[in-house]
Amino acid sequence: MVTDVVPSLGIVIVAAGSGTRLGHPEPKAFVALAGRSLLERSLATVLSLAEPASVVIVAPTSHGQQARDIAQRIGGAVRDHIQVVDGGATRQASVARGIAALPTECDAVLVHDAARALQPVAVFERVLARVREAGAGVIPVMPVIDTIARRDAEGRVVGQVDRSELAAVQTPQGFPAAAYRAALESATAEHTDDAGVFAAAGGEIVAVDGDAHGFKITTPWDLRRAELLLESERPRLRTGIGIDVHAYDEAAPMWLGGLYWPDEPGLAGHSDGDAISHAVCDALLSAAGLGDIGSRFGVDDPRFADARGAVFLSATVELVRTAGFEIVNVAVQVVARRPRFSPRRHEVEALLTGLLGAPVSVAATTSDGLGFTGRGEGVTAVATALLSA
């Protein structure tokens, strides 16, 4: 670790299997799931634990360098402290090599299948807390949903098993370190999981809740299912842009950003000429794919003749929400010689933030004497909006 203190938690990620059932050319842990390998996803979850850990990745000999590259890429400040060791012929042998590489100072160990790439960090935390409380082996489990039948060698069903007594076992599995090391050393048989090794040596095992995302990616179907789960859970974001320009009209009152600006020339237009409010409306409508202010609030609509910017903004927010979007934020850039914006910038931001129910930031600039804004003929406002669906 970056400090000299060795963490008391050790985590082994087993990633040395070949993935026969998945059938990809590369070992399963190095197969990409929506752009990131199963190993990378599992390691990222481990690194998001609040408690620091010594981490060992067990990789196929052919892929040790790739595993080290992943650790370097996502390991940040602890990247040089993530070890990679070669796997063994069986999962149990791979686990034993990983455990052997952990510092002896570790008092608790977690063993996780890289193939359970979507197991949430909360399950890791739950297992670890229980190891410390109970001083026992801990497995995360899921209830068995299907009816379980017992059948004979000929395929005849010879009875049912009471499924309320059954549980499907996931990883990470956690153990008091010294007892688990001893269990691995004394193991004489192959077990399908770590709790099997621990129980064979007389260790007590307790169960905590697993998570539906903790399924083991084993077949092509599982991989596709994992991809679709990630896709459906990703927030759908949409950006939009809007621009508005109005010329000064000395005879009109100045309304900009929803505020009245006394002693300033006003802006010409069908409504109050509030270029900021109009640009924000266009950005919101553009992000939602709802057209623009002209097509939504036509000049013939009496509700909007001479209407304040706030009226357009409230009506736009309503449209965007009805279409199923939440506003994430809005940013505005004003280009104008007048009004001098900075003294009231926070006032404009607070007003618009209140109207939209989401953060609005406003910046202002002049255009260095260039163009119509530089000549003081009018105001330009540009806005971007981010929505989530």
Binding segment toward ligand CTP, per CB under 6 A, in 16-24, 234-242, 262-270, 358-366: 16-24
57 makes contact with ligand CTP (CB under 6 A): no
324 in Cβ contact with 389 (< 8 Å): yes
44 in Cβ contact with 13 (< 8 Å): no
Of 3, 4, 5, 20, the one binding ligand CTP (CB under 6 A) is 20
Cα–Cα distance, 42 to 71 (Å, whole number): 11
17 makes contact with ligand CTP (CB under 6 A): yes
278 in Cβ contact with 311 (< 8 Å): no
Of 28, 41, 181, 246, the one binding ligand CTP (CB under 6 A) is 28
For 301, other C-beta atoms within 10 Å of its C-beta total: 11
For 262, other C-beta atoms within 10 Å of its C-beta total: 7
Record the tokens describing residue 282, joined without a space: 């266009």
* Cβ distance to ligand CTP smaller for residue 66 or 384: 66
Phi and psi at residue 362, to the nearest 5° = -130, 130
Record the tokens describing residue 382, joined without a space: 């540009």
85-115 per-residue burial string, b: 16 or more CB within 10 A, e: under 16: bebbeebbbbbbbbbebbeeebebbbbbbbb
Q: Kindly state the smallest distance separating residue 115's Cβ from Mg ion, in Å.
A: 9
Nearest-5° Cα angle at 112, 108 to 115: 175
* Cβ distance to ligand CTP smaller for residue 89 or 157: 89
Site string for Mg ion, 324-343 (x = CB under 5 A): --------------------
Closest-approach residue to ligand CTP (CB): 17
Is 63 one of the annotated binding-site residues?
no
Using CB distances below 5 to 8 A depending on partner kind, what does residue 218 bind out of ligand CTP, Mg ion, none?
ligand CTP
* Cβ distance to Mg ion smaller for residue 17 or 176: 17
Find the binding residues for ligand CTP in span 94-153 (CB under 6 A): 94, 113-115
CA distances from 211 to 129, 168, 192, 214 (A): 16, 11, 20, 5
Residue 173: name the closest of 214, 229, 201, 218 by CA.
Answer: 214
Using CB distances below 5 to 8 A depending on partner kind, what does residue 98 bind out of Mg ion, ligand CTP, none?
none
Q: Kindly state the smallest distance separating residue 23's Cβ from ligand CTP, in Å.
A: 8
Q: Kindly state the smallest distance separating residue 137's Cβ from ligand CTP, in Å.
A: 18
Record the tokens describing residue 204, joined without a space: 């007590």
Number of residues located near ligand CTP, criterion CB under 6 A: 22
Find the binding residues for Mg ion in span 12-71 (CB under 5 A): 17
Name the binding residues for a divalent metal cation.
244, 246, 278
Which positions lie near Mg ion, rule CB under 5 A?
17
Which positions lie near ligand CTP, rule CB under 6 A?
14-21, 28-29, 58, 87-91, 94, 113-115, 216, 218
Name the binding residues.
244-246, 270-271, 278, 292-294, 365-368, 372, 375
